[in-house]
A and B are shown apart, each in its own frame.
Chain A
């Protein structure tokens, strides 16, 4: 397998060293095809949203924290040490048995970066942006989350001013779990509202 034919020529000493490592380790058979891309995307998908997951888990175990979170998302998220310019005005919207929330950005790809990391590719897709507003129930079903007809769907259009975070319902049967265990259950897509837990 040839190593790195698609990479630009290294320019700095450290880039040269990394390219040499890539060549060496690939030659040793330690870097299977696609491994680098898999690792990178896995971290983008699974590590980024851990802060949001911690916020959700805390709200599940601490009713007073949940009250603060719903009243002032930015401040409550900052309590846990998370925040930043992209999350200046965070509004947390709570799913209930009768209400399902989902976030979208119809204009671009505004997204609660400080708690969810990088947005998934489909979030930036024009079809998602348009259809989640026009036919959210159909699109959610297509994405694997069919909702009963009596569940109201609320679509929140993110903007530069306000970023939304969906607070999913705590799954049944998790009463004995610790906060950390609960955080492990919370997926990125559930905090976008594109999936249920």
Chain B
């Protein structure tokens, strides 16, 4: 079991203290960002956070989880190519 992951400084949308997911793709993209943070960046939240800040700034009116998706797409672009066998 890895150390508890936490993204508290990202101002996640919540309702009644619960993370607010309206559709399965939202919780999926949330968890994917956690996966990349943990497994590609050793738990460092900053790379994703910077992408999210940029994605929200680029389109401030865009729904939150769509910005989150755009941020993860941008972050995925920065990943080194998978080593070819």
Contacts and interface: CB of A to CB of B under 8 A. Distances in A.
A42 B4 contact: yes
A120 to B, nearest CB: 13
Contacts of B32: 18, 21-22, 25, 31, 36
Contacts of A17: 69, 73
Taking residues whose C-beta sits less than 8 angstroms from the other chain, chain A's interface range is 35 or more
B5 A39 contact: yes
A35 B36 contact: no
A15 to B, nearest CB: 5
Nearest to A24: B76
Contacts of A49: 17
A48 B76 contact: no
Nearest to B82: A28
Interface in A81-106: 82, 84, 86-87
A84 B16 contact: yes
Contacts of A52: 17
Contacts of A84: 15-16
A36 B31 contact: yes
A193 interface: no
B31 A50 contact: no
Interface of A: 7, 10, 12, 14-15, 17-19, 21-22, 24-25, 27-32, 35-36, 39-40, 42-44, 46-52, 82, 84, 86-87, 113-118
18 contacts: A7-B24, A15-B25, A21-B32, A21-B73, A28-B79, A29-B82, A30-B39, A32-B39, A35-B31, A36-B35, A40-B31, A42-B4, A43-B30, A46-B4, A51-B17, A115-B17, A116-B17, A118-B18
Given A18-B69, A35-B35, A43-B30, 6 more contacts: A25-B32, A35-B34, A36-B35, A43-B19, A84-B16, A116-B17
